[in-house]
Structure 1
Amino acid sequence: MKTTALRIYGKCDLRLETFELPPCGDDGIIAEVVSDSICMSSYKAAKQGADHKRVPNDCATNPTILGHEFSGRILEVGAKWADQFKPGDRFGIQPALMYKGSLDAPGYSFTTIGGDATYVRIPSCVMEMNCLLKYTGEAFFMASLSEPMSCLIGACHAHYHIPAGTYKHVMGIVEGGKCACLASAGPMGLGLIDYLIHGPRRPKLIVVTDIDDARLNRAASILTPADAKANGVELVYLNTKCPDAVEKLMAISGGTGYDDVFVLAPVAPLVEQGDAILGFGGCLDFFAGPTDPTFSAKMNFYNVHYAGTHIVGTSGGTTDDIREALDLMGKGKINPAMMITHVGGLTAAKDTTLNLPNIPGGKKLIYNHVDFPLTAIADFAELGKNNPVFAELAAACARNKDMWNLEAEKIVMEKMPKLSV
């Protein structure tokens, strides 16, 4: 079977190419990839090429397929997996295999599997690590977003606190505690806030910061303080583009500081701001992965010693985190559609990946079997004046609080120009 896929050959060297996949064999699975959401981690891989820890050193001669936030349907199943999967099954993927201690992952390290492809051959190691996950939902984009949601869920699980007078690490955020989410009005921040408000363990106070009023206003219109209050959470949005941001954050906490702080941008002053607002025993989660291997920031070690403040960092989520994300989506408790601001076809994947930091908005969603430019949802109505498909998409999103949705997905898959191989 032929596939068309975006492959990485080196630093900023991405090529959309058509080539033959190996046969399924007894231990493989052939699948159609329907959608992939583009992650900053893919941008980092594209920028670093073979210097990236997950991209093979020989990618120039054995290019790998980019994209690790993807979903689709199974077409052919090797005999080894016939008792677990069948043609027609829909799936999500856990890219963090940790297979025999390796960092290899779909979307970085493999020549036959990645999210920016029309078809893939899934190697046996993915199934051996229980990383091919059945998905029973109807909207493919939801399963694509289960991976980024799992990263956020994993970050909340990785927090820990040590009760006074013990050496016990109590895992997870403080239930009924005070939480600050810094630089969190973007796509991943929205997912984090959604989980903190509607997930199984909730703080009593969440303060969300950003330095852009437009992002804060959009976040507040989607995740409203009124809805948070109905779930037992006080939700405050704060623009911290001011010299007294730490003082304002401390005042909102009642002067105690915060039990849990999430930092969603790799900016040293932001990390230091997060450290400054930690309360007694507070945990700071450095969630944003920097591209600079020498990135560092100051931390108050007086407070580490006397106030028990500490820091954690996570990169990705576990398979159980993805299962939790899929379960919460299926029950309608979280809605990662709010993370999506742009949609395009596979031909848009290369430029989108290479320019991701310069494209405003949230998650960029790719549908792999169609061909149209990356387009902001906010532009659908204007484009619809001359294009009936965009007019339909604008109407479908308007019926869903201007967010991406199943109806819009079906319109794209049925009516946008098909990818030419």
Structure 2
Amino acid sequence: MSLDELYAHPKLAAYRQGKTPIPPKYWLWPLYGAGLENLGVDDKPIQVDTPSPGPDQLLVRHDAVGLCFSDTKIIHAGETHPRLVGRNMKANPVVLGHEVALTVVRVGEKLVDKFKVGDRFVVQADIYYKGVGMAYGYALQGGLSQYNLIGKEILEGDEGCYLLPVKPETGYAQAALTEPWACITAAYDVVYRVGWKPGGTVLIAAGPGALADYELGTPYEGGQPPARVITLGVSGKLLAELRQRAKVDGFALTELPAPGEASIAEAKAVAGPAGFDDIVFLGADSALYELLEPLAAKGAVLNLVGSQAFKGPAQVDVGRLHYDHLSLVGTNEPLIASAYKPIRTQLRPGGYAAFLGAAGPMGQMHVQRALQAREGPKLLIATDLVPERLRVLETKFARLIEAKRGVMELSCRTPGNMSPAEFNASLVAATGGAGFDDIVVLVPSPGLIASATEMLARDGLMIIFAGLNRGVRAPINLRLVVDKGVRFTGTSGSAIRDMRSMLSAAESGLLDPNLSVAAIAGLSAAKKGIEGVMNQTFAGKIVVYPQILDFPLTALADLKDVLPQVYAKLGPHHSWTVEAEAEFLKELLP
């Protein structure tokens, strides 16, 4: 069906063009503090005056918004949320919703040469303006509102305009869900440094297993040395080399005694409050690692040179691996530079991949991405605790599974009565004992991260996708980093490039975000939707249509009795489609 045919109804045509009447008041959901009881007034949204845009502003209409687990984090934390510290939410409530598709309905006089009524966009939610983070649905009013003003923070942000144009044929839910999908894309597109940070601060610490014959090699590009190097207990050939390099390359070298309370305090004082951009551990044991890891700056690379002193697991801050972009590398060679190699971040083609906790909305997206990859793994294992939740994957992705038959296999597994150790052993057995090239952890569990690390194959990669707070530690066998080349990656949110990439993939048909939709709702049912996210009621995403006020939270399969004409236009296995969405809007828009 062509676009003109799809939106031929006069109501839909006017809506598509942004030409429907704009009311003097509109509805939104204010969050006045921590707790679901503080969302709305008497469990309902409130009405506020519809503003007129200033000369440098746009008035936009929110068309669709996906509900996200991050929304529930704001509700739980309230003013203690890291993005909202210092905000008085009672006086200045938050309006949630960062997965948004919107349409321009009024244009300020200074913007008429750049925007017009009817232009459609998605929002890159992680917005920075003059160095200050003010994300959509956090500091800025979000999608659980029918209208919003868009100003310089978004139009002239630090990375340019945070609005990305949407093609006319793209559905509203499809567009809104590019934001969570961009987070998936970002998890496989992360880049880590492969040497010391130019102009940075390096700490080199000798541990109880340190050898006498270390060499520096080339841990930094020529002409791009660090600003300073601080050593703790380093001696011999390596120290002589550092002294020579300091003279030639011009970095400051501070030589301190072996790691101890006084020497570490002095190293910290020399480095300053920013911490260390690179930490090199020479023959470290778990105690030294745990002592120095907290000194790592955001984006630091931690290089473990030699595994001989690690006699047991070390408590690793897995929250910082996820949120602070820390990188763990290692080598058994006495050459420090040999550890700095590119980290593979894409799933290994023809390899073995495991998705742990895959039944939730984001887990389903990871599995879908793997199934639709041109060169994906040969075996995908998806796990969850509840068999019924996992069966959704086999049903929802039946066409994709069939298309890859003989090339890629999806195996869904639950532990049943097995112990965690027995279950993990059964998963490794499915790889023929080789272990997994890739493990994606979708459950915020330090214990799961620790035990899953042991299932990685040589040069295996663990993607820590589920966010754990900074300071949450997991007992990890760091010998695996050194001896087997195991690596960890972690990302939070997405960047504009990820949104562009995902929007392109969606609009080209490479990936369909509509397959992620499990339930829909009108704006008044948004609170029920958030409860559904908290309780994991639906095996997929909930999409709210703010311009439809009074439609209850409804699973797609249940549309058969509620809106039979919409149901008739669903895709296979009750999947959301642009045709079903158009029919839904035609029937329920005011």
Q: Same fold (TM over 0.5)?
A: yes
CA distance in 2, matches of 1:80, 1:181: 49
Long gaps (5+) in structure 1: none
**Identical aligned residues as a percent:** 29
Q: Kindly tell me: are residues 367 and 179 of structure 1, through their superposed partners in 2, closer, same or farther at Cα, counting changes over 3 Å?
A: same
Q: Deviations over 1:276-310 (max 9, x none)?
A: 212222221221124x6654332222212322323
- Per-residue deviation at 1:173? 1.5
1:405 aligns with 2:577: yes
CA distance in 2, matches of 1:45, 1:267: 20
Amino acid at match of 1:270: L
Q: Kindly tell me: are residues 100 and 404 of structure 1, through their superposed partners in 2, closer, same or farther at Cα, counting changes over 3 Å?
A: same
Match of 1:141 among 149, 164, 173: 173
- Per-residue deviation at 1:380? 2.3
Aligned equivalent of 1:378: 557
Amino acid at match of 2:552: P
Q: Deviations over 1:32-89 (max 9, x none)?
A: 1111110010011111111111235222211121100110211123355444332111
1:296 aligns with 2:473: yes
- Per-residue deviation at 1:8? 1.4
The answer to which of 117-126 and 129-138 deviates more is: 129-138
* Aligned pairs for 1:205-354 within 5 A: 205-224=379-398, 225-229=401-405, 232-241=407-416, 242-243=418-419, 244-290=422-468, 295-354=472-531
Q: Kindly tell me: are residues 79 and 312 of structure 1, through their superposed partners in 2, closer, same or farther at Cα, counting changes over 3 Å?
A: farther
Long gaps (5+) in structure 2: 1-23, 195-328, 332-337
State the secondary structure of the residue aligned to 2:39. strand
The answer to which of 278-287 and 60-69 deviates more is: 278-287
Aligned equivalent of 2:26: 3
State the secondary structure of the residue aligned to 1:7. coil
Q: Kindly tell me: are residues 192 and 2 of structure 1, through their superposed partners in 2, closer, same or farther at Cα, counting changes over 3 Å?
A: same
Q: Deviations over 1:201-245 (max 9, x none)?
A: 633332211222222222012224332347x43332222343211
1:124 aligns with 2:152: yes
C-alpha contact (below 8 Å) 1:265/1:288 kept by paired residues: yes
- Per-residue deviation at 1:317? 1.4
C-alpha contact (below 8 Å) 1:21/1:121 kept by paired residues: no
State the secondary structure of the residue aligned to 1:26. coil
State the secondary structure of the residue aligned to 1:133. strand
C-alpha contact (below 8 Å) 1:157/1:171 kept by paired residues: no
Aligned equivalent of 1:91: 121
Match of 1:392 among 565, 571, 577: 565
The answer to which of 218-227 and 366-375 deviates more is: 218-227
Amino acid at match of 2:439: V
- Per-residue deviation at 1:159? 7.3
C-alpha contact (below 8 Å) 1:159/1:312 kept by paired residues: no
- Per-residue deviation at 1:359? 4.2
CA distance in 1, matches of 2:108, 2:506: 30
- Return the TM-score normalized by structure 2: 0.65
State the secondary structure of the residue aligned to 2:584. helix
Q: Kindly tell me: are residues 9 and 293 of structure 1, through their superposed partners in 2, closer, same or farther at Cα, counting changes over 3 Å?
A: farther
The answer to which of 138-147 and 16-25 deviates more is: 16-25
Q: Kindly tell me: are residues 126 and 377 of structure 1, through their superposed partners in 2, closer, same or farther at Cα, counting changes over 3 Å?
A: same
The answer to which of 81-90 and 321-330 deviates more is: 81-90
C-alpha contact (below 8 Å) 2:62/2:100 kept by paired residues: yes
The answer to which of 89-98 and 72-81 deviates more is: 72-81
CA distance in 2, matches of 1:365, 1:340: 7
Amino acid at match of 1:135: V
C-alpha contact (below 8 Å) 2:345/2:461 kept by paired residues: no
CA distance in 2, matches of 1:2, 1:199: 46
Following TM superposition, the consecutive aligned residue runs of length 4 or more in structure 1 with deviations greater than 4 angstroms are 159-166
Aligned equivalent of 2:346: 173
C-alpha contact (below 8 Å) 1:46/1:354 kept by paired residues: no
- Per-residue deviation at 1:103? 3.0
- Per-residue deviation at 1:265? 1.3
CA distance in 2, matches of 1:315, 1:22: 33
State the secondary structure of the residue aligned to 1:202. coil
- Per-residue deviation at 1:163? 11
> What root-mean-square deviation, in Å, do the aligned CA atoms of Structure 1 and Structure 2 show?
2.4
- Return the TM-score normalized by structure 1: 0.89
The answer to which of 186-195 and 67-76 deviates more is: 186-195
C-alpha contact (below 8 Å) 2:128/2:153 kept by paired residues: no
Match of 2:54 among 25, 40, 60: 25
* Aligned pairs for 1:22-171 within 5 A: 22-55=51-84, 57-110=87-140, 113-128=141-156, 129-136=160-167, 137-158=169-190, 165=338, 167-171=340-344
CA distance in 2, matches of 1:10, 1:67: 16
Q: Deviations over 1:87-146 (max 9, x none)?
A: 111111110113344332011112xx3111111111212122331010013310001100
Q: Kindly tell me: are residues 393 and 263 of structure 1, through their superposed partners in 2, closer, same or farther at Cα, counting changes over 3 Å?
A: same
CA distance in 2, matches of 1:295, 1:275: 16
C-alpha contact (below 8 Å) 2:330/2:481 kept by paired residues: no
Q: Kindly tell me: are residues 198 and 352 of structure 1, through their superposed partners in 2, closer, same or farther at Cα, counting changes over 3 Å?
A: same
Q: Kindly tell me: are residues 409 and 102 of structure 1, through their superposed partners in 2, closer, same or farther at Cα, counting changes over 3 Å?
A: same
Larger gyration radius, structure 1 or structure 2: 2
Q: Kindly tell me: are residues 282 and 198 of structure 1, through their superposed partners in 2, closer, same or farther at Cα, counting changes over 3 Å?
A: same
State the secondary structure of the residue aligned to 2:122. strand
CA distance in 2, matches of 1:249, 1:9: 46
